[in-house]
C-alpha cells in the first residue's frame, strides 16, 4: 500500500511521528509531502529529527500568504505531486490550510482520503480551522475520530457508518511514547533554572487572540498582574503581533524560543499550571495531570471542561485572565480517559490496510 501524507504545521509533524512509525512497521510505503506552512527549524525540522518523522520527499515552501493564497497555491502543487506519486491513500491531519488543500487535491483526483482527528468542532465559523475541518470531513473517505463527542458531531452532519472509525487520539499515543524519552533526555528544566520553581507554562498563538490587539493586551496584562514566573515559548505569529501592537512584556514573563517536543513535555510535566489557547497543549496538560486554563471562547475538547481539568476563559480583560488562573489553582477534578488507550496509530494503520 502506498500512502502520501501531507504535513505542514508543527502539531501535524508531532501527530505523524507515531502514525508514520506504525506505517513503517507494517510495511506501508509512505511519502511525506511538506507544504512548508511552518518552516523555521524550531517549528519544523526539530520535530523531523527528534521524533523520527521520515524526511519529506518534497517541501513545497508555501507560507506567509493569506489563507486563500496559501490554500490555493498548495492545492495546485499538491495535485501535481499526487499525480506523480499515485498513492492508494492520502493522509491528512487536523485542521490547517495544509489539511484542507491536501483533502481537496486528493478528492479531485478521486484518491481516498484518511482524515486523522476528524469530527472536532468549535461551532465557531469565524475560526479558519473550523472551515478547514468541516470541509475536510465532508470530502474524506475514512474519518478517524479521537473522541465520542467527535463521532456525535459527525453524525449530526450526516457522516456516519463504516467511514467513521473511533481510533482514539494520536496525541495520547505521542505523549505516552515520547513522555518516557523526554524523562530520559530533556534537560530544559535544569537549563532554565526551574527546578523547584512553581511556574506557569503558557502558550498563545491562536489568531482570535494574536490578531485582536485588545485580547492580546488583556492576556499579557493579566500575566503581569499574577507576579508568578510564567514561561512562554513564543510562537512566531505571536512574536510579530507583540511588536506591531506595542505590547510591553511584564518582568515575571520568561520568554523563550519555541522548543522541541521532548523539552515541551518536560516543561508541561513540571509546570504547576498551564495557560494556553492550543488544542494539543490542553490535552497534554490533562495527560500529565496538570490543571489548565484555556484562553478561548470555546474548545473542541469539551470533555476536559466537563471533567474539571480545563477552565475556559475568554481573555476579554486582564482581570478575566487573572480570575480564571486564580480559580483554577484549586478545584475538584474527575478521573477518566476520553482519548482512547494510546493505540490510535495502530487502529488507524490497521484500518487503512483492511479498508
> Residue numbers of the site for ligand UDP (CB under 6 A)?
10-11, 14, 203, 205, 233, 258-259, 261, 264, 278-281, 284
* Residue number, 204 or 318, with CB nearest to ligand UDP: 204
CB of 277 to ligand UDP, least distance (A): 7
- Closer to ligand UDP by CB, 82 or 153: give it: 153
Q: Closest distance between ligand UDP and the C-beta of residue 263, in Å? A: 7
Q: Considering 205, 235, 288, 354, which one is annotated as catalytic?
A: 205
CB of 22 to ligand UDP, least distance (A): 18
Residue 214 CB, shortest distance to ligand UDP, in Å, is 21
Q: Give me the numbers of helices (H) and strands (E) for the chain, helices first please.
A: 16, 13
Minimum CB distance to ligand UDP smaller for 45 or for 141? 45
SS3 of 224, please? helix
Whole-angstrom distance, CA of residue 32 vs CA of residue 60 = 11
Q: How far is the CB of 268 from ligand UDP (least distance, A)?
A: 7
How near is the Cβ of 175 to ligand UDP at its closest, in Å? 8
Grid cell, residue 299, equals: 474548545
Q: How far apart are CA 29 and CA 153, in angstroms?
A: 32
- Per the CB < 8 A criterion, the answer to whether 232 and 254 are in contact is yes
Burial 202-239 (b: 16+ CB within 10 A, else e): bbbbbebbbebeebbbbbbbbbbebeebbbbbbbeebe
Q: Is 205 an active-site residue? A: yes
* Sign of the torsion angle spanned by Cα atoms 5, 10, 13, 14: negative
Angle at 5 between CA 205 and CA 300, to 5 degrees: 40
Closest CA to 347 of 116, 137, 103: 116
If the CB atoms of residues 183 and 319 are measured against ligand UDP, the closer one turns out to be 183
Residues 114, 174, 279, 234: is their CA dihedral positive or negative? negative
Residue (87 or 146) nearer to ligand UDP, CB:
146
**Which residue number, 21 or 111, has a Cβ lying nearer to ligand UDP?**
21
Strands 273-276 and 292-294: parallel
- Residues 6+ away with beta carbon under 8 Å from 285: 268, 274, 276, 291, 292, 309, 310
CA distance 7 to 169: 17
142/115 Cα distance (integer angstroms): 6
Catalytic residues: 205
Amino acid at each position: 500500500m502506498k500512502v502520501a501524507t501531507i504535513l505542514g504545521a508543527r502539531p501535524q509533524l508531532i501527530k505523524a511521528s507515531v502514525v508514520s512509525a506504525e506505517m513503517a512497521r507494517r510495511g506501508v510505503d509512505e511519502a511525506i509531502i511538506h507544504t512548508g506552512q511552518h518552516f523555521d527549524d524550531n517549528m519544523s525540522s526539530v520535530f523531523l529529527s527528534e521524533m523520527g518523522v521520515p524526511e519529506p520527499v518534497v517541501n513545497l515552501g508555501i507560507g506567509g500568504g493569506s489563507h486563500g493564497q496559501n490554500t490555493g497555491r498548495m492545492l495546485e502543487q499538491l495535485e501535481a505531486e499526487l499525480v506523480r506519486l499515485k498513492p492508494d491513500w492520502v493522509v491528512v491531519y487536523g485542521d490547517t490550510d495544509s489539511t484542507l488543500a491536501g483533502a481537496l487535491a486528493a478528492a479531485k483526483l478521486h484518491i481516498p482520503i484518511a482524515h486523522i482527528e476528524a469530527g472536532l468542532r468549535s461551532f465557531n465559523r469565524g475560526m479558519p480551522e473550523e472551515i478547514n475541518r468541516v470541509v475536510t470531513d465532508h470530502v474524506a473517505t475514512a474519518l478517524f475520530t479521537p473522541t465520542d463527542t467527535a463521532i456525535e458531531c459527525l453524525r449530526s452532519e450526516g457522516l456516519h457508518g463504516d467511514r467513521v472509525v473511533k481510533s482514539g487520539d494520536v496525541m495520547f499515543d505521542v505523549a505516552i511514547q515520547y513522555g518516557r524519552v523526554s524523562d530520559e533526555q530533556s534537560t530544559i528544566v535544569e537549563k532554565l533554572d526551574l527546578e523547584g520553581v512553581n511556574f506557569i507554562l503558557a502558550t498563545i498563538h491562536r489568531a482570535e487572540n494574536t490578531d485582536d490587539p485588545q485580547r492580546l493586551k488583556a492576556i499579557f496584562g493579566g500575566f503581569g498582574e499574577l507576579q508568578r514566573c510564567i514561561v512562554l515559548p513564543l510562537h512566531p505569529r505571536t512574536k510579530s503581533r507583540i511588536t506591531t501592537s506595542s505590547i510591553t512584556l511584564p518582568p515575571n514573563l520568561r520568554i523563550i524560543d519555541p522548543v522541541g517536543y521532548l523539552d515541551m513535555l518536560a516543561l508541561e510535566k513540571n509546570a504547576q499550571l498551564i495557560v494556553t489557547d492550543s488544542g494539543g497543549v490542553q490535552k497534554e496538560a490533562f495527560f500529565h495531570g496538570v490543571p489548565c486554563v484555556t484562553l478561548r471562547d470555546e474548545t473542541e475538547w469539551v470533555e476536559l471542561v466537563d471533567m474539571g481539568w480545563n477552565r475556559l476563559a475568554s481573555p476579554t480583560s486582564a482581570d478575566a485572565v487573572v480570575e480564571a488562573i486564580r480559580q483554577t489553582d484549586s478545584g475538584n477534578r474527575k478521573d477518566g480517559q476520553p482519548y482512547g488507550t494510546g493505540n490510535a496509530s495502530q487502529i488507524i494503520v490497521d484500518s487503512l490496510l483492511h479498508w
